[in-house]
């Protein structure tokens, strides 16, 4: 809570009569180092957006998260132009610096540290579930740890892969009330693979 207040993430205001409240919940996660050791505990407050109506409760949505395509392009540029990759933790958010000019990089880090509480993590090693190794020959990106953690989480770490997970001649029965499984676990796993 102190970090949220210090960074002016929100402000307390009077509740307008014409508005309705939106439920929320805290989501707690653990952030790990590339070697699997504990880095920090994280918490975020998320709204239950399903109760909101577009153009009444909100006008736009966004999430300040780098897309995987963007990361691939930046890593490719860094490899081809031999740009050093550096990682900063700006109090709860990771920033990747791709800058060959050391003076400009240091000026940017000084500016960020004057505005936010930052931690210089050094060379980029682990980001968004990807292990990153850079040399003069290029950049190697691996998601081995992410995949192993996902297999462990789902109880599949001892399983062997198959080409077709279900018999193609399997006859599916008619839908009957109550015979469907909870799909949220499956949907969550698909989301982690995308």
- Inter-residue contact 86 to 112 (CB < 8 Å): no
* CA gap 148, 186 in Å, rounded: 17
Rounded percentage of the chain residues whose pLDDT exceeds 70: 86
- The residue whose two tokens read 């307008």 is 16
C-alpha to C-alpha distance for 114 and 92, rounded to whole angstroms = 16
Whether the model pTM is above 0.75: no
Tokens read off for 103: 């003076």
pLDDT at res. 141? 86
Instruction: Using the Cα atoms of residue 97, residue 62, residue 126 and residue 94 in order, give the sign of their dihedral.
Output: positive
pLDDT score at 56: 67
Alpha carbons within 13 angstroms on the beta-carbon side of residue 170 total: 8
HSE value, Cβ hemisphere, 13 Å, CA-based, for 35: 1
| Whole-number pLDDT of residue 62 | 64
- In the structure encoding, which two tokens stand for residue 19, read together? 């508005």
Spans of the chain, pLDDT less than 50: none
Note every long-range contact of 52-57, with CB atoms under 8 Å and residues 24 or more positions apart, other chains counting: 52/22, 57/19, 57/20, 57/22
Per-residue pLDDT, 5: 73
Question: What pLDDT is stored for residue 178 in this prediction?
Answer: 63
d(CA 120, CA 85): 12
- Residue-wise pLDDT tens digits, 110-134: 888 888 888 888 888 887 778 888 8
**Tens of pLDDT, residues 164-181:** 777 888 887 776 666 667
């Amino acid at each position: 809570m102190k970090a949220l207040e210090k960074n002016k993430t929100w402000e307390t205001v009077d509740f307008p009569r014409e508005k309705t409240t939106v439920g929320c919940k805290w989501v707690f996660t653990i952030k790990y180092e590339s070697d699997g050791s504990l880095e920090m505990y994280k918490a975020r407050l998320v709204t239950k957006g399903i109760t909101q109506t577009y153009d009444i409760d909100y006008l736009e949505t966004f999430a300040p998260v780098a897309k995987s395509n963007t990361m691939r392009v930046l890593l490719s540029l860094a490899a081809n132009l031999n740009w050093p990759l550096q990682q900063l933790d700006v109090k709860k958010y990771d920033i990747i610096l791709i800058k060959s000019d050391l003076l400009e990089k240091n000026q940017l880090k000084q500016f960020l540290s004057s505005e936010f509480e930052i931690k210089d993590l050094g060379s980029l090693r682990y980001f968004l579930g990807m292990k990153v190794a850079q040399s003069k020959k290029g950049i190697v990106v691996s998601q081995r740890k992410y995949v192993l953690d996902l297999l462990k989480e789902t109880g599949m770490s001892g399983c062997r892969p198959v080409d077709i997970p279900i018999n193609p001649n399997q006859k599916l029965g008619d839908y009957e009330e109550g015979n469907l499984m909870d799909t949220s676990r499956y949907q969550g796993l698909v989301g982690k693979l995308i």
